[in-house]
Structure 1
Amino acid sequence: MTDTTTRTWNRTYRGPAGTGAPRLAALLGVHRDEATPQQVLETERFDTDDHRLSAADIRLTLHRGGEEQDQWHLDLPDGDEAEQLRVPLAPDAGATPEVPAELQELIRGVVRDRAVRPAGRIRRVRTETRLHGDADRLLAVVVHDDVTLATLGRATEVEAWTEVELHRAEADNALITELENRFAESGLRPAAPAAEEELERLLRPAPKVRKRRSGPRGSAGAVLLDYLAAQADRLAAEELRVRRGGPDSVHQLRVASRRMRSALQAYRPLLDRRRTDPIVDGLRELGQELAPARDAEVLHERISDGLAGLPPELLLGPAQAQMTRHFARVEAEATAAVLTALDGERYATLRTAIDALLERPLLTKRAARPARKELPALVARTAKRLEDAVGIATDPAAPADHRDTAVHTARKAGKRLRYATEVAESVAGKDAKRFAKSLKGFQSALGEHQDTVVAREALRELGSLAHPAGENGFSFGLLYGRDAARAEQIERELPELWATAWSRRNRRWLR
C-alpha cells in the first residue's frame, strides 16, 4: 500500500561544485513541474580584521536577494527569536555599505576602535523546481544551489559545492524514494546545510592563549586570574545588554565591575600595582557613572511600591502621577549618561587595560604561593576592614552622623569581602561558602539601610516639588517617616546580625 500521509519536512543533499540539477522528468505521480527564474542570493559577514565579533559569538550579516530582500541582521549570543535585530539596507548604500548606526551602537563595545568591514561571503545561485500532482497538488519542491564561500581581507579562502534541498509537501514515500535515487545518480549525498557553519569556522579566530606568569597550577595568582577573566567576560556581555536596553543590565554591569574591582583591591599583593591601580580607578569611575541609572531604577520601584501600599485615605493628591513624571525624566537622563560613558575614551582605555592585564599579567612572588594558604590570609585582611567599620556603626555612643557614615562604609566593605571570598571558594570550599552565606543577612540589612538613605533624599525632593505645583506632598512625607523609622530599626538589629555572621565558627578558615 502506498503511504499518502501528508508530511512537511526538509532534507539537504550535497555534491561537488558544478553538479548539475538532478533529472526531474517522468517522475511517478508528477503531472507538472514548474521552474522559477534563477536567482542569486548573497550573505555577507562583517567583522573587524582580527574577527572580534566572531570571537564574541556575534554575527553581523547583510542579506541580499530572496525573502530577506537586502536586509542587515545582527544576531547576539543571548538573543532570542522574538527579538528581531533587522535593519533594511538603504537604497543608495552602494557596493560596500556602511553598517547602520543603530547596529554600530550595539557592537561598539566589542569592536572598539577597529573598523568593521566585509569578512566573508556566501553566494548561492539558486534554481527552484515545484512538483505538482493531480488536481495541481504541490507534492515537493527541489531547490538547487551552486554555493561559493569566500573569506575576505588579508587571507582569502574559497570553497565551492552544490547543495540540493528537498521540501516535502504531499509527496508519498514512493516519490521521495525515487527523488533520492536520482539525487544519488547525480552524485548528491545526504548532508546537513553547511555554508553558514563553514564560514563561521573560517572566521572564528583561534582562542588566545593568555601568557600568565602565574606559577604552578593551584597558585594564588592562577586562581585570581581565572576569576578576573570570568568577570571581564561578564563585563563585556552586560555592556552589550545595556546597549540593547536589557532588563537589569545596568545593575549587572555594575556588579561585574564591582566584583573585578573588589578582587583587585583585596588581592593587591599578588599583582603589580602599577598595572592594577589604574584599572581599579577606572572601575570605580565606571561604577560612579552607572550609579545614577541604577539608583533611579531602585528608587522608582521602592517609592512606587510604597505609594501603592498606602491606604486610599493616606494617598493625597496625584502622587503617583508626580512620581512617574519625575522618574521618567531622571531615568532618561541617567540612561543617556550611561551610554555616553560607554562610548567614551575612558571606558575604552579601561577595557584595553583589562585585556592587557589578562594577557600579560605581572604577578608578584607571593602570587606563586599555594592558593589554599595565601587567599584566606588576604581575605582576612579585607575582613578586618569590615570589622572596624561595623565597630563604629554599632557603637551607641557614636554620633548619629558618624554611625550613618560607618554603616555606608561597612556596606561597601561587606561587598568587597563577599567578592573576595568568591575568589577563594574554589580552594577554601565549604568553609568559604558558609562564611559568605553567613554574611548575607547582615549585608542585606546594610543594603536596605542604604536604600532608605537614598530614598529619603528623593522623597524630600518630591515633597518639596509638590507644593509649588499646587499639589500635596503628604504621602511622600509619610513614606519618608517610614524609611527613617526602618533605618533606625536596622541600626538596632545590626549588633545581633553581626554577632551571628562574625561567629568564630564562620571565620575559622581565615588566617
Structure 2
Amino acid sequence: MTDTTTRTESRIHRGAAEAGAPRLTALPGVAHEDTAPQRVLEVERYDTPDHRLAAAGIALALHRGDDEQGYWLLELPDGDSAEQLRVALAPDAPPNPEVPGELTELVRGVARKDPLHPVGRVRRVRTETRLRGDGERALGTVVHDHVTIATQGRSTQGVAWTEVEPRDVADDGLGAALRQRFAEAGLRPATSAAEAELDRLLRPVARPSRGSRGGGKRGKPGSAGAALTEYLAAHVERIAAEDLRVRRGEPDAVHQLRVAARRVRSALQAYRRLLDRDRTEPLVDGLRELGRALAPARDAEVLHERIRTSLADLEPELRLGPVQAQVTRHYARVEAEAAAAVLATLDGEAYARLRTALDDLVQRPPLTKRAARPARKELPAHVGRTARRLDRAVTTAVDPGRPDDERDVAVHSARKAGKRLRYATEVARPAIGKDAKRFAKSLKGLQKALGEHQDTVVARDALRELGALAHADGENGFAFGVLHGRDTARAARIEEDLPQMWAEAWQRRNRRWLR
C-alpha cells in the first residue's frame, strides 16, 4: 500500500561526534525528566551503481528502527511539492529486501535497466528525554542522536556527529534555556539534515570534459553554445520530471513529456550548425519516434474532451440518441490502450538508450567552433533560417491553387514549422531580449489558428468513426455528423484567415532582428 507524507522542518543543533548530551537538569519550569530507552534508527539509501537517482534529485530509502515497522520512502523532485511516497515493509521481509515493484516502476526511466541496491546509510543511536512540569504536564522533548553516515560500494566515505532537536517545547522561555544548554555543550544550529549530507556524498560531481576551454564544456558565458546548452539541459531535465509524472498517472503528464521532447528536438534541428550532427541526428530520430509513440494517448485525451464538450454545447434538438454514453465507452477503451502503450514505450530499450544519450548530450555537448561566437550575433541567423522555413510553409498552405485533399497536410506542415520557430526563438530570447519577445508574441495568433485547424482535422476523422460505430450498433449518429460539419466549416474559415494572419505576424518590424 502506498500513501503520502509531507516533510516538516525542525531546529537541529549539531556538534562533534565526541560531544556529550547537553545538561537538561534545573531548566526553568521543569520538575523532572523522563529518559526513554536508547533506540537505533537506520535509513538505507538505494540507487544504481553510478548513483543515477541521486544525480536526478531522487531519494529512495528504506527506513527501519527498533520495535517499529519499516517502510520504503521515495522522494521525487516535484519542485512545487514536498510530497513523498511511502510503502510499508512487509513484517516478514528479509534483512536485504528488494525494492517494491511499484516504486521500481516509478524510477525506471532514471534507473533504466540497472539494479537498485544499497549505496549509503544514515544510522542514529537515539535517546529521547521528555521534560515534565508540575502535575506531569508535558513541556517538550529533547531528542539526542549520535549520527553516523557512510556510503557503500567501491568507494566509501563516512562522517559522524552529535545532534539534538527540541520538539513541542511549551514556551519561548524554555526554548531559550535549551538553546543556551546546547551552546554550552558545543552544539550549534545545523544548516542541513543528515539525509542532505548523504545526498551530497552520493551525488556525482560533474567534471569538465577533457580539452574544454574558456567557459568549459557548455561553452563560454555569452556564447551561442552556452545559450543552446542551457536550453537543452533545462528541457532534458523536464523530460526526466515528466517521465515520473507519467508513471504516476498524473493529468496532462503525457502532453508535457511530449512537449519537452519536441522542444529538445526542435532546438537540435534549428541550431544544427552549432552541433556535431553525427551525435545529434540519432537523438533527433529518437525524439521523433518518442513523440509518435506518445501521440495516440495525447490525441485520445484531447479528442475525448473536445467531443464531449461539443456534444454538451449542442442544441438539444440536434443531440439525438445516447451519444455521450457512446463517446464515454469508446474513449474509455481507447485511452486505456493508449496509456498501456505509453508505459510500454517508457519501459522499452529504445527509450532507455534515448535517455542515456540525452544525459550524455548535457554532460558532453557536441559543440562546433561556430558555437563559440557571441550569442547576440550568432543566434538571430539560426532563428532567421527557421523563420524563412515557416514563410515557405505558410505560402504553400495558403496557395489558392492547391487541391483540397492536399490542403490539410500543407497547413499541418506549416503548424510544425511554426512550432520549430517558436522553440528556436525561446533559445535566443534570453540573449536577444525584447526583439525576440515581440517576435514570439506576434506569432501567437497564427500558431493558435494552425493548432485549431489540426484539431479539426483529427476531430473530423474521429467523428466519422464514431458515426460509423453508432450506425453499426443501430444507434443515431446524427449528432456526430453535425459536429463534423461544424469542424469542416471552422477549418475553412481558418484557411481563409491565414494569409492575413501571416502578413501581420511577418511584418518587418517584428523580424528586423533576424539575419
Task: Give the counterpart letter for 2:263 in structure 1.
Answer: R
1:42 shift after superposition? 0.9
The reply on whether 1:196 has 2:200 as its aligned counterpart is no
When residues 450 and 127 of structure 1 are mapped into structure 2, their CA distance, relative to the original with a 3 A threshold, is same
**What is the TM-score normalised by the length of structure 2?**
0.89
Cα shift readout 1:411-460 (whole Å, capped 9, x = no counterpart): 11111122122222233332222222111111110100000000111111
Q: Distance in 2 between matches of 1:185 and 1:220?
A: 55
Structure 1 residues 223-260: Cα deviation after superposition (integer angstroms, max 9, x where no partner) = 33332222222222222222222222111111111111
Residue pair 2:30, 2:133 contacting (<8 A) in 1 also: yes
Q: CA deviation at 1:293?
A: 0.9
Distance 2:19 2:227 in 1: 55
For residues 347-400 of structure 1, give each alpha carbon's deviation from its aligned partner in whole angstroms, at most 9, with x where no partner exists: 122222233334334444443444333332232322232222222221222211
Contact kept in structure 2, 1:32 and 1:132, CA below 8 Å: yes
Deviates more, 1:386-395 or 1:443-452: 386-395
Q: Which runs of 5+ in 1 are unaligned?
A: 1-8
Amino acid at match of 2:274: L
Question: Is 1:153 matched with 2:167?
Answer: no
Amino acid at match of 2:305: E
Q: Which residue of 2 aligns with 1:58?
A: 58
Q: How big is the shift at 1:183?
A: 5.0
- Pairwise mapping of residues 20-169 of structure 1 onto structure 2 (< 5 A)? 20-22=20-22, 24=24, 29-65=29-65, 69-78=69-78, 83-169=83-169
Q: Secondary structure at the match of 2:429?
A: helix
- By how many angstroms is 1:86 displaced? 0.6
Change (3 A) 1:492 1:188: closer
Q: Is the 8 A contact 1:59 1:75 kept in 2?
A: yes
Among candidates 491, 497, 501, match of residue 493 of structure 1:
497
Look up the equivalent residue of 1:97 and give its one-letter code: P
Q: Distance in 2 between matches of 1:176 and 1:468?
A: 76
> For the pair shown, which has the larger CA radius of gyration, 1 or 2?
1
d(CA) in 1 for partners of 2:69 and 2:202? 25
Q: Report 1:308-323 matches (<5 A).
A: 308-323=312-327
Distance, in Å, in 2 between the alignment partners of 1:510 and 1:185 is 66
Q: TM-score, normalised by structure 1?
A: 0.90
Letter in 2 for 1:463: G
Partner of residue 449, structure 1: 453
- Aligned match of 2:281: 277
Structure 1 Cα separation of the partners of residues 352 and 257 of structure 2: 15
1:137-286 matched pairs, under 5 angstroms? 137-170=137-170, 173=173, 186-189=185-188, 191=190, 194-209=193-208, 211=212, 217-286=221-290
The letter of the residue matching 1:125 is V
Residue 413 of structure 2 is matched in structure 1 by 409
**Alignment RMSD (CA, Å):** 2.7
The CA distance in 1 between the partners of 2:475 and 2:398, in whole Å, is 40
Aligned residue in 1 for 2:475 = 471
Of stretches 142-151 and 494-503 in structure 1, the one that deviates more from structure 2 is: 142-151
Structure 2 residues not aligned, in runs of 5+: 1-8
Partners of 2:169 and 2:175 within 8 A in 1: no
Alpha-carbon contact 2:69-2:91 (below 8 Å) kept: no
Is the contact made by 2:35 and 2:129 (CA closer than 8 Å) also made in structure 1?
yes
Change (3 A) 1:203 1:68: farther
Give the whole-Å Cα distance in 2 for the aligned partners of 1:435 and 1:187: 60
Query: d(CA) in 2 for partners of 1:487 and 1:160?
Result: 68
Displacement of 1:215: 7.0
Instruction: List per-residue Cα deviations over 1:98-149 (Å, max 9, x = no partner).
Output: 1111111111122223332212211112222323333322122232222222
* CA–CA separation in structure 1 for the residues paired with 2:163 and 2:93: 30
Contact 2:308 2:324 in 1 (8 A): yes
Offset, 1:66? 6.7
- Give distance in 1, aligned partners of 2:247 and 2:318: 40
Q: Judge conservation of contact 1:32–1:133 (CA < 8 Å) in 2.
A: yes
Change in CA separation of 1:130 and 1:393 when aligned onto 2, cut-off 3 Å: same
The one-letter code sitting in structure 2 at the alignment partner of 1:71 is Y
Distance 1:264 1:316, change over 3 A: same
Count of aligned pairs: 502
Deviates more, 1:237-246 or 1:278-287: 237-246
Give the 3 Å change call, closer, same or farther, for CA 201–29 of structure 1 in structure 2.
Answer: same
Distance 1:424 1:192 in 2: 38
Identity of aligned residues (%): 68
